[in-house]
Homo-oligomer: A and B are copies of this chain.
Amino acid sequence: MAAKVLADMGGGQSLMAAAWMAHCGVKARVVDKRNAKIYSGQADGLQCRSLEIFDSLGFGDRAWKEANHMIEICMWNPGQDGVIRRSDRIPDTIVGLSRFQQVVLHQGRIERFFLDNIKKHSHDSIKIERGVLPASLRIDESDVDREDAYPVTVELQHLSEEESTPKQQISGSKVADGLFRSSLNHENDEEELIAHGSRAGERETVHAKYVLGCDGARSWTRRQLGFELQGEATDFIWGVMDVIPVTDFPDIRMRCAIHSAENGSLMVIPRENKLVRLYIQLKEVAPDASGRADRSKITPDLIFGAAKKILQPYKLDYEYCDWWTAYQIGQRVGTDFASRNRVFLAGDAVHTHSPKAGQGMNVSMQDTFNLGWKIALVSKGIANPKILSTYADERRQVAQDLIDFDHRFSRLFSGRPAKDVMDAEGVSMEEFKDAFLKGNMFASGLSVKYGASELVAPDASRQSLATGLTVGMRFNSFKVLNQADARPWHFQERLKADGRFRVVLFAGNILEAGQRSRVDKFSARLESEQSFIRRAKSPEAPIDSVIEVLTIHSSRRTDTELLRDFPEILHPFNKSTGWNYDKVFVDDDSYHEGFGDAYKNYGVDKERGCVVAVRPDQYVAWVGDVDDFDGLQNYFEGCLRLNGKTRDL
C-alpha cells in the first residue's frame, strides 16, 4: 500500500490536511486509533481566521449558521465591598477585522463539515480509517531527497473495537468526561488505554511520501522521531463543565471573565443549544511535590461548587451536564516540527497550552492549513520541495506567540485581583483588561505574519503600493462587484482553497489611456510563452490551472465593458464555454450591499493600481507595480517549478 500522505488523527488538524489533499487531488490516508468520532461536549471557539479558512474550503456558512455567536465580553470584578459587579463591556471580536466574528461550536459538527467536504472533493476516495494504530515508523535517509521516492515506511495495526474505545474516568457515569485526554493524565495513561488486550489484529505496511503526526500532546509520532515538548506546567488547576445553567446571573449568555475576590476566577463561554461552558479555577486542588495534581479528587461536584462560590451572590445550578474535565495549565513547544521534510508534526504534538484561550483547535488546524497545500503542490511537481521547510519556520513562530500569549493571560486570569494599588501580589484589573484587548487581536488569528522565505517575498520596498495588504499576512476581504453581472462578492470568496496561487491585478483606472497601456503590457507578458502562468502548468491544461489571475479595476462599472476594455488573458476564452465571466471585478457601489471601497481599504492607488501575488492559503506573497512583471516572474520562479511538466491540480 502506497500513499502520499498519512495523517495520524488528532482532531481538526488531520482533517484539515486531508481536506487539502482532497481539494488538490492527492492520494492520502488518514488513520485514527480511536474508533469513534468526537466525544460529547468538546467545543471550541472558532477564530475569525478559522471561519475564513472554512469558507475557502466551502463550509464556512455551515459553521456560521450552527454556531453560537459571541458578541460581547463582560468583565466582572470585585467592588470595594468584595462583591462581583460588571466593570466593562467590550466587543468579543475587534470591529472591522474580518467578515466573520468569533463563534463557538461543538467539535463534532466541525468534524462533520470536514468529513462531508473531504468526501465531496476527494470523490469518496479519502476516508478516515478508525481503530488503526501506527506501530512503527522509519525514514529511509538515502531516499529523502528523491522527489519520486516513498521514503517513509509506517506499519499499521488494526485494533479491535474494545481496544480503540477510550474509557471514561468515572465508570457508570452518564455524563461524559474528558479526563482521559486531560493534561492531568500521566504520560503513559493513554498508551495503557489502547495497548492492552489482544494484539492479534491485522498489520499492514504503508510506504508514504509524507507522514503527518497530528496525534496530540503525547504524540506517538513525535516520540518515534525523538523530539520533545519543552516548557513547564504551572500550579493553576482548572475545571471545565458544559451545562445548561439555571441562574440569575445576568450575563450568562455573554462571554464573561470573572475574578472573584477570594474564590478564584471563572470564564463563561455561551454555547449552542442553551449550553454554557464554564472554565473554573480550582483553588482547593493543588499539585503535589512532584508537580502533579491528584485527579481522583476532581469531581463535577467539586468543580461546580467552586463555580458557585465564585459567582456569589448570584445563584447557579444545573440539571443537565453535557461534559466535564479538568486540566493543569502548562505551556510547551516542540523542539522540532519536522524530520527531513518528510515527517511533520502539527497541533498539540508541537504546542500545548491552556484551552480557555480558545485557541487550541484554531492554531492546530491552521498548522495543517499552512502545510497541506505545500505537500500537495510539491508531490505534484508544481512547487519546489524547498518550500516545505517554510512550514516549521512559519508555524513555530505562531506556536511561540501562542504560548507567550497563554502564559501571560493565564497568569493574569488565575491571579487574585488586587485589592488596591498597594496590593502588589494581586493582579491589576486594568492590566487584565489591557491584556484581554491586546489578546483579542491575537485571538482572531489575523495577526499572524509569516517571515520572508521562498514563499513570502523579502523585499518590502513595494509595500506602499498596497498598504492594506501586508506581505506575509492574510489577504483581507472587502466587497467588489463582478464586472459581468454586477453581483457583489467579498473578494476573499474568490480565493478558494483549491491549491492555486493567485495574481490579483489591481488594474486601476482602465479607462485612462496610459493606465490601459500599462495593463496591456502586463497582459501581453502574461500571454507570452515564457510567462509563469503558462510555465507553471502542463501545456494542455487551461491557462488558470495553477495560477489564476483575478482583476479588480476602479473605473465605473457601467462605463466599462468586459470584452471591450479588458485584455483577453484577463477573461480567457474557451471554445466550448465562451468567455470567462468570473475573473474581472470592479470597486463600485452595489444596489443592495453598499460600497466595499476596496481600493481605499486595500490602500491601493485608484489610478495606477498594483499587482499582488497570493498563496493558496490566502497569504499575501508579493506586492509590486503593474510594470514589474519581472519581479512577479521572479517570485514564482523562486517557489514553483516553471518547467511545464507538472501534474495539474
Contact = CB atoms under 8 A, between A and B. Distances in A.
Contact of A576 (B72, B244, B482, B563): B244
Interface string A246-280: 11101011100000000000000010001000000
Nearest to A574: B246
A108 to B, nearest CB: 17
| Residue of A244, A252, A564 with most partner-chain B CB within 10 A | A252
A297 interface: no
Contact of A71 (B91, B274, B591): B591
Contacts of A320: 576-577
A452 interface: no
Interface string A571-597: 000011110010000000011100000
Contacts of A577: 244, 246, 274, 319-320
B61 A564 contact: no
Contacts of A148: none
Given A577-B320, A592-B101, A487 B69 contact: yes
Contact of A486 (B61, B72, B245, B485): B72
A422 interface: no
A95 B592 contact: yes
A485 B70 CA distance: 7
Interface in A89-136: 89, 91, 93, 95, 101
A575 B246 contact: yes
A319 B487 CA distance: 26
B591 A485 contact: no
Contacts of A233: none
A270 B72 contact: no
Contacts of A274: 577-578, 581
A484 interface: yes
Interface in A554-578: 558, 561-564, 575-578
A65 interface: yes
A61 B61 CA distance: 8
A252 B270 CA distance: 48
Given A71-B486, A71-B591, A254-B484, 18 more contacts: A68-B485, A69-B485, A70-B485, A71-B488, A71-B590, A71-B592, A72-B486, A93-B591, A250-B562, A250-B563, A250-B564, A252-B484, A253-B482, A253-B581, A254-B485, A274-B577, A274-B578, A274-B581
